[in-house]
Structure 1
Amino acid sequence: MIKGFIFDLDGVITDTAELHFQAWKKLSDDMGWQFDREVNERLRGVSRMDSINIIREHNNAEVSEEKLLELATLKNDIYVASLDQMTPDDYLPGAQELLTLLRQEGFLVALGSASKNSNKVLKQLGATKFFDVIGDGNSVSKSKPAPDIFLFGAEQLKLKPEQCIVYEDAEAGVDAAKAGGFYSVGIGPEERVGHADVRFETMKEATLFEVKSAFGELFDN
């Protein structure tokens, strides 16, 4: 039976994707590198260091590991500064309602995000109260598509993977959920998250009622 839910953060609870894009764009512009929406799409659900390597490879740039680390840190500084403008109005439609309902119905809830700034984002949203466990980029060493962050969340919740449903908007995230033996809800287009157990275009559609209907026998009622 389903006892817990694990949520990705960006693109599921809130959309910081534009803030990430602007931060990477500024960094790339300063470096004289090409960076656009198409390249940015490849960074979805990917760790910071993997992201900087994707951008470096796209530009055929020769950069030392030390310099890459410095650039990734600089991008993060730009991004974190932009988080100060986030408010509780920045939940994606449907996300706050779902989290509230999960609390009311007694489900356990964990965050499973690659972001090392998750605590800051949740605090800005006023969302910390909805989570029993916060798993982020500081919690595990292997990022998605490895299942480690979701396995960490389940372990902290004292649940087995098959007792949890993962909400994800990234291909790598759905891959991670499947690799870990979790049930998955994909948020977004077919070509990105169509391999999830259930898919919805938006969080607003991915209500608890719809998810319970989709997974039927896995719920008590």
Structure 2
Amino acid sequence: MGKIKACLFDLDGVIVDTAKYHYIAWKELANEMGFDFTVEDNERLKGVSRMTSLDILLSIGNVEKSEEEKLELATKKNENYLSYILKMGPEEILPGTKEFLEQLKKEGVKIALGSASKNAMTILNRLELTSYFDAIIDGTKVSNAKPDPEVFLKGAEALNVSPGECVVFEDAEAGVEAAIAGGMKCIGIGNAEILRKADFVVDGLHKMNIAMLEGLNN
């Protein structure tokens, strides 16, 4: 391996798909209040904070709640979500992830997680992937959300490598922007149209190999 010494991974949409559990938890909340919440409605919540998401949900149902009631509802949604997370298992790891992490380990490439999720450790433990990561930077360790590069810069620091020696794997536009802002290479996972600022885009980690990383040095 040439210049690339470390790979930093976002969690949701790259290693595992937890978005479906967020959707189910919001839908349950809506149904309890007597209205439906569709997959199309859920698109409006992507990349949005929990409290803003709740406001959108309430506006869809045309429901008014006090600030105190909103806090209770947001807590309930998170408890619903966590109940699903705690049932996850290694079978939910996205295709090719484990194989690619094993390739990186073999080549001596350092591995970090860079995720806004405060549940990242719980999820990695459930997936039995924790031991692959040399550093885990999650929502409990950062104060600025992506596109701020803080989460990735802290990851590079924890791995003791410079940003220029890092490649970030991201499925969200804000994450790609965070990687670029941090002076790192970035590989997009998913939609090439949305992630066009990335160095290149693949469908998933099952399409990745070490040679492709080396190509980023040229």
The normalised TM-score by structure 1 is 0.86
Counterpart for residue 194 of structure 1: 196
Contact 1:47 1:115 in 2 (8 A): no
66-75 or 77-86, which deviates more: 66-75
Contact 2:4 2:214 in 1 (8 A): no
Counterpart for residue 177 of structure 2: 175
Whose Rg is larger? 2
Counterpart for residue 210 of structure 2: 208
Q: Structure 2 CA distance, aligned partners of 1:161 and 1:54?
A: 37
Unaligned runs of 5+ residues in structure 1 are none
Any residues of structure 2 matched to 1:1-221 within 5 Å, and which? 1-32=3-34, 35-56=37-58, 63=65, 65-213=67-215, 215-217=216-218
Q: Percent identity?
A: 48
Q: Structure 2 CA distance, aligned partners of 1:49 and 1:150?
A: 25
SS in 2 for 1:192: coil
Unaligned runs of 5+ residues in structure 2 are none
Q: Structure 1 CA distance, aligned partners of 2:194 and 2:63?
A: 28
Which amino acid is 1:98 matched to? Answer: F
CA distance change for structure 1 residues 3 and 79 in 2, over 3 Å: closer, same or farther? Answer: same
The normalised TM-score by structure 2 is 0.87
Runs of 4+ in 1 over 6 A off after TM superposition: none
Residues 10-68 of structure 1: CA deviation (Å, up to 9, x unaligned)? 11111112112111211233344653223423444444345435545666765555444
Give the C-alpha shift of residue 130 in structure 1: 0.5
CA distance change for structure 1 residues 163 and 85 in 2, over 3 Å: closer, same or farther? Answer: same
140-149 or 164-173, which deviates more: 140-149
